[in-house]
Amino acid sequence: MIDGFIRCGCATPDVRVADCVYNADRIIEAVKEAEKSDCSLLVFPELCITGYTCGDLFLSRTLIDGAKKALCRILEETRMAEIVFLVGLPVRSGGKLYNCAAVCCKGKLLGLVPKKNIPNYSEFYELRHFTPWEGGQSTLIDYPDNAVMGDIIFRDSENPLFSFGAEICEDLWVASPPSERLAGNGAMIICNLSASDEVIGKKEYRRKLVDMQSAKLVCGYIYADCGFGESTQDMVFSGHSLIYENGTRLRESVPFKGGIIYGDIDLEKLESERIRMNTFKAERGAFAEVRFELSPKTLTLDRYFAKTPFVPASKDALDRRCEEIITMQAAGLATRLRAIGCKKSVIGLSGGLDSTLALIVAVHAYDMLLLDRKGIIAVTMPCFGTTKRTKSNALALAAAYGADVRQIDITLSVRQHFADIGQDENVHDVTYENAQARERTQVIMDIANKEGGIVIGTGDLSELALGWATYNGDHMSMYGVNCSVPKTLVRHLVSYEESRADKELSGILHDVLDTPVSPELLPPSENGEIAQKTEDIVGPYELHDFFLYYTVRSGFSPKKILRIAECAFDGVYDRETILKWLKIFTKRFFAQQFKRSCLPDGPKVGTVTLSPRGDWRMPSDASSKLWLEQLD
């Protein structure tokens, strides 16, 4: 296991009912195939050594002994395989017959986990043959290797994070599944050996069940279903297998096809989520722990990482997300305005994406409160870097929304300020840039005082992460509506508003979307175009939002973030480019925390925010040395 990733698999072999020799051959073949694919944990279906549909043949000593003999041969022929796998078989112990999962590794039987919930309805009459396991103390039984039988958690000695438990089919479908206690005692993966017949609608229900269980328990869930070869006397089995990770489907088999599916589960991510939740409470002594040891495998990751983790993949999901976020932002602002009895708000409108989104949110908030949109004072403040395009868009946008539009040229004010502090206007340094940003903030703050209103902040989450804001300039406001919206999502929110706007407003928003991202603090080019482009300076926002998500949301190391970024951006950016911007992100994220430590209020709309009052508490003088050493 490297970087927390472990390859898991579900195998649905062809079976012959009651032919333990044939079934053992197929299991051995599947184990060896999976090992060659770098799989570390492989789950087979329920009672796969005998077949699930043996009926009263389960009462035959011949079948039970044949299953035990087949298991011994499976162990012998897989003793050199660096893989742990679970197979199902009937086990006789203490005058009772149990439906068990046999956990095997390198020729040894690590343990037997009996089924706890035995169905006895409709087409399933397992109680006719099997006894439910009542729990309690695990015990040694006379089986290969004096096997432990009972409630067990299995753990890799070299990589303790690799831990799993097992439940069998019906165990998942009951009100209180065993997997809840397994996860509560530290199992990171739940293996389910299943034989679930197929009827209309059951596939979707099964999918939802595994989805929710993996999310609720913050675990990997491997559900292996039986398929072709089981008796179709009264039922049909499709081999519908699933691999989930914390509510995310990694792999799903094609029904009625069989074979093996694989999914790379991220155990470090699961651990990080559990640490954040802090709700998993162990029942001490409730489970035996059995150790095994596997050599680590360097995986070529076979899983999907979205380039834009903040942005839903499908258009329908994205539209729903945009509607929800704009509503949440507007509700936050509306609540603040009503709470302080304020009907005026001031926005510095540049004609760029962020201030456009802030105006959109303000308009929706005023509509919620049935307030006159003229209470929104949109101020455009051209100076040295302002282009005709952005200035025109700002004025047209405010007018189209029915806001109070004001234009205040701050050029003379900034020049006077330069004269006062001895700044050469021809020196385009940080002082030259920040003086403009702070003058703009002074203007809108004073307008807010004069009008009895509040200043609405426009800065977004990505800018806060990078510290791409002028301290006590655009960094400051009375309420920052975009504070938890990343740059990659801002564009989609404005685009969503455009799709619902009338023709005139839509055209303005479309041009705003086409305008390069820029603070416009340096003079335009000779042809009047924007010369200062943010992404040329700090790097692509799609990369920085990717880094931000996995740094804050998952707590990943820079080394791991680099690895998954290479997967996500394969063919878009090479390793050197990703590494360059990841180093810059890491340096800036640490160095600019002081700006985040004094942020104004603003609404939380997603799981990644940087508010110093709850979601991200970090000392402003923390060292980035350990993080940068990984990248060096």
**What pLDDT is attached to residue 124?**
59
pLDDT digits (tens, 9 = 90+) for 340-383: 999 999 999 999 999 999 999 999 999 999 999 999 999 999 99
pLDDT digits (tens, 9 = 90+) for 242-252: 999 999 999 99
Of all residues in the chain, the percent with pLDDT exceeding 70 is 98
Residue 283: pLDDT band with limits 50, 70, 90 = low
Q: Kindly report, as residue ranges, where domains of CATH 3.60.110.10 are found in the chain.
A: 5-292
**What pLDDT is attached to residue 517?**
80
Is residue 126 among the annotated active site residues? no
Mention every residue, 6+ apart, whose C-beta is less than 8 A from residue 27.
11, 13, 44, 48, 49, 74, 87
For the beta carbon of residue 364, count every other beta carbon within 10 angstroms: 18
Of all residues in the chain, the percent with pLDDT exceeding 90 is 82
* Residue environment code for 572-608, b if the CB has 16+ CB neighbours within 10 A, otherwise e: ebeeeebbebbbbbbebbbebbebbeebbebbebbeb
**What pLDDT is attached to residue 437?**
95
For the beta carbon of residue 434, count every other beta carbon within 10 angstroms: 18
- CA–CA gap between residue 168 and residue 101 (Å, rounded): 7
> Catalytic: which of 100, 104, 105, 169?
169
User: Is the Cα dihedral 456, 345, 508, 324 positive or negative?
Assistant: positive
The pairing of strands 152-156 and 163-168 is: antiparallel
pLDDT digits (tens, 9 = 90+) for 530-578: 767 778 888 999 999 999 999 999 999 999 999 999 999 999 999 999 9
- The secondary structure element, H or E, covering residue 78 is none
Q: Kindly report, as residue ranges, where domains of CATH 3.40.50.620 are found in the chain.
A: 315-631
**What pLDDT is attached to residue 123?**
56
> Catalytic: which of 35, 54, 104, 115?
115
- CA–CA gap between residue 378 and residue 411 (Å, rounded): 18
10 Å CB burial of residue 352 (0-12, 13-18, 19+) is: buried
Q: Check pLDDT > 60 for residue 178.
A: yes
CB 192, CB 48: distance < 8 Å: no
DSSP 2: B
**What pLDDT is attached to residue 234?**
77
Is residue 115 among the annotated active site residues? yes
For the beta carbon of residue 280, count every other beta carbon within 10 angstroms: 15
CA dihedral of 175, 264, 554, 273, whole degrees rounded to 10: 20
The domain made up of 315-631 has a fold known as Rossmann fold (3.40.50)
CB 29, CB 42: distance < 8 Å: no
Question: Tokens at residue 503, please?
Answer: 């023709």
Residue 282: pLDDT band with limits 50, 70, 90 = low
Q: Phi and psi (nearest 5°) for 29?
A: -60, -45
Largest CA distance in the chain: 101
> Catalytic: which of 35, 46, 268, 498?
46
What is the separation of C-alpha 146 from the centre of its chain, rounded to a whole number of angstroms? 42
Q: How many helices (H) and strands (E) does the chain have?
A: 20, 22
Q: Which CATH architecture has domain 5-292?
A: 4-Layer Sandwich (3.60)
Residue 524: pLDDT band with limits 50, 70, 90 = confident
The larger pLDDT score, comparing residue 172 to residue 281, is at 172
CB 597, CB 41: distance < 8 Å: no
Bridge partners of 214, per DSSP, are none
- CA–CA gap between residue 62 and residue 72 (Å, rounded): 15
* Amino acid of residue 461: L
- CA–CA gap between residue 168 and residue 41 (Å, rounded): 16
10 Å CB burial of residue 201 (0-12, 13-18, 19+) is: exposed
CB 214, CB 245: distance < 8 Å: yes
pLDDT digits (tens, 9 = 90+) for 101-110: 999 999 999 9
Look at the chain and count its residues.
632
Is residue 433 among the annotated active site residues? no
